[in-house]
Amino acid sequence: MKKVERRGLSGDAADRIRDAILDGTFLPGTALREVELAATLGVSRGAVREALASLEHEGLVQSEWHRGTRVTDVTPEVAEEVYTLRATIERLASTLAAQRATPAELAELDDVVDRMAIAVESGAEAVELLALDIEFHDRVYRAARHRRLCEAWLALRSSVRLCQLTRIRLGRAGYRGLVVDEHRELVELLRGTAEKRLARVAEEHVLGAMTALTKDLAP
Amino acid sequence: MKKVERRGLSGDAADRIRDAILDGTFLPGTALREVELAATLGVSRGAVREALASLEHEGLVQSEWHRGTRVTDVTPEVAEEVYTLRATIERLASTLAAQRATPAELAELDDVVDRMAIAVESGAEAVELLALDIEFHDRVYRAARHRRLCEAWLALRSSVRLCQLTRIRLGRAGYRGLVVDEHRELVELLRGTAEKRLARVAEEHVLGAMTALTKDLAP
DNA sequence: GCTCCTCCTAATGTCGACATTCGGACAAGT
DNA sequence: ACTTGTCCGAATGTCGACATTAGGAGGAGC
């Protein structure tokens, strides 16, 4: 069984605010006032403060001394930073996962890819595909058994999601065709022993997404 | 001129506590009670809370729900995690720095290495060498011009320092001889255009330090 | 002797009030 | 016209009091 996670109000608050940002309820540049959020969420300012600190750590918002916190804007620079950093850590994650993943974990990865395939065929929303994409990589990181690496991923994950959502909103959702095959290949490589190839593919898998997005973001 | 940094009490508090941990004032496993620290530092519990959250983010302490926060123990596992992750991001940092560093920044790196050489010759304390080592890498990351990468380094830096300090305390300070040459080589590679070699050397520079430490930590 | 239950204590989690800081508006001086 | 100084509103930074929780000591039941 999985451990029950005990969190405080600030954790819940962070989730709500994060969702609102990813929803598009809070557009980039929006000022997130502590008192306002505290009133809306029905918690104290302290909890909101902690939540905002978490989100800043995730790169979703930025705060300045005595000037409040605003939702981060997705510029080409941000996208490049997020994806280059992600590509780098994904390289380590996949290498470790290949060494340490149990057969059960690999099977679960297969399962996620299958669900992706079904989603693509049945013409599901892009957002659903995105969730599966994230889940896939979550599992890879978990299989790597590297606490700090997982934390690094958690710190990046929301930004990755925001970048991908931005891309979807821009209409260029053209990754439907590739997504299944790319992930399928990753699982196969994780299963095998071709370490070098895996590291390269894992890195390129991420960098490919980056170039697609930065191209879209550039005017 | 450099921007004046405006921070609150929690920033100062975090610095004090961090120093105390790196000093050895708070040994691994020590419980850090909020009220106690608040009284000692002369600030409110809120500020201490924020400070501890920062330190947790840096990996120096760990906290559990309603059970307080304790200083992280430096186990071989922790050392391995810290150094593998560091090696990975250092790879990206050095590649970027090679592309983006200005001549002035490269000259400053030379300067740091020179100071290292002087410190080694004059038989300075290991702790001083360590500070220069950290400063060197700080500058490399800054030269990479990648905000998120810098943040990832800041999150790791204290842990790196803690690991190195642990090593010094164990008596195996044998890196005096290598430290200058290794960094000298890194600067030369940053200056040149041999990207692949640079990435490899930068990674090995870190992984070498890791194997040395994990060997020491293992009983 | 073992388990389970109940209390108790010491710590963290949460809250709203007060202090500080920022940026802009407005007026005075050069 | 431009700069400089002052004030003001609104937000964050800081604080100590109160609520909640975890874990242990102690006793009752079996």
Q: What is the pLDDT of residues A170-203, one digit of tens each?
A: 776 666 777 888 888 788 776 876 666 656 766 7
- Identify the three-state secondary structure at position B105: helix
pLDDT score of B156: 94
Residue A219 to residue A75: CA distance in whole angstroms: 11
Q: Which residues pair with A71 in a beta bridge?
A: A61
Strand D nucleotides, any atom under 7 Å to a protein CB = 11-17, 20-23
Q: pLDDT band at B165, cuts 50/70/90?
A: confident
For A23, the token pair is: 């929803």
Residue B175 to residue B158: CA distance in whole angstroms: 19
Whether B72 has a pLDDT exceeding 70, the answer reads: yes
The continuous run of DSSP H or E covering A69 comes out as: strand A68-71
Q: pLDDT band at B213, cuts 50/70/90?
A: low
**Does the distance separating the beta carbons of A84 and B146 come in below 8 Å?**
yes
Question: With DSSP H G I counted as helix, E B as strand and the rest as coil, what are the percentages for chain A, rounded to 5?
Answer: 75, 5, 20
Residue B83 to residue B205: CA distance in whole angstroms: 10
Residue A162 to residue A78: CA distance in whole angstroms: 11
Nearest Cα to A149, choosing from B74, B85, B158, B149?
B85
Residue B98 to residue B90: CA distance in whole angstroms: 12
**Main-chain phi, psi angles of B200, to 5 degrees:** -65, -45
The continuous run of DSSP H or E covering A145 comes out as: none
Q: Hey, is the C-beta of B34 within 8 angstroms of any chain A C-beta?
A: no
Q: Hey, is the C-beta of B84 within 8 angstroms of any chain A C-beta?
A: yes
Q: Which of residues 9-38 of B touch strand C (CB under 7 A)?
A: 31-35
Q: pLDDT band at B17, cuts 50/70/90?
A: very high
Across chain B, mean pLDDT equals 87
Count the Cβ atoms, other than its own, within 10 Å of residue B158.
22
Residues B81, B213: contact at Cβ < 8 Å?
no
Quote the pTM value: 0.89
Query: Each residue of A55-92: pLDDT tens digit?
Result: 999 999 999 999 999 999 988 888 888 888 988 998 89
Residues A206, A183: contact at Cβ < 8 Å?
no
Q: pLDDT band at B169, cuts 50/70/90?
A: confident
The continuous run of DSSP H or E covering A153 comes out as: helix A147-169
pLDDT score of B187: 81
Whether A215 has a pLDDT exceeding 70, the answer reads: no
The continuous run of DSSP H or E covering A63 comes out as: strand A61-64
Most confident of A209-213, B150-154, B202-206: B150-154
Query: Each residue of A2-56: pLDDT tens digit?
Result: 888 888 899 999 999 999 999 999 999 999 999 999 999 999 999 999 999 999 9
Strand D nearby residues, CB < 7 A = A 6, 32-35, 45-46, 49, 63, 65-69; B 8-10, 38, 42-47, 50, 65-67
**Where are the strands (E) in B90-176, listed by range?**
none
Q: Tell me the CA–C1' distance in angstroms for A71 and C15.
A: 26
**Does the distance separating the beta carbons of A91 and B146 come in below 8 Å?**
no
Residue B62 to residue B72: CA distance in whole angstroms: 6
For A32, the token pair is: 């997130």
Residue with tokens 């395939």: A117
**Main-chain phi, psi angles of B206, to 5 degrees:** -80, -45
Q: pLDDT band at B138, cuts 50/70/90?
A: very high
Q: Which of residues 59-88 of B touch strand C (CB under 7 A)?
A: 63, 65-69
**Main-chain phi, psi angles of B71, to 5 degrees:** -70, 130
* Cβ-based contacts under 8 A for chains A and B: 59
Residue B206 to residue B198: CA distance in whole angstroms: 13
A47 touches strand C (CB under 7 A): yes
Nearest Cα to B130, choosing from B153, B164, B158?
B164
Residue A207 to residue A205: CA distance in whole angstroms: 6
Query: What mean pLDDT is predicted for residues B157-183?
Result: 80
Q: For strand A68-71 and strand A31-32, is the pairing parallel, antiparallel, or unpaired?
A: antiparallel
Residues A70, A78: contact at Cβ < 8 Å?
no
pLDDT score of A151: 95
Nearest Cα to B153, choosing from A137, A148, A191?
A148
**Main-chain phi, psi angles of A5, to 5 degrees:** -90, 120
pLDDT score of B55: 98
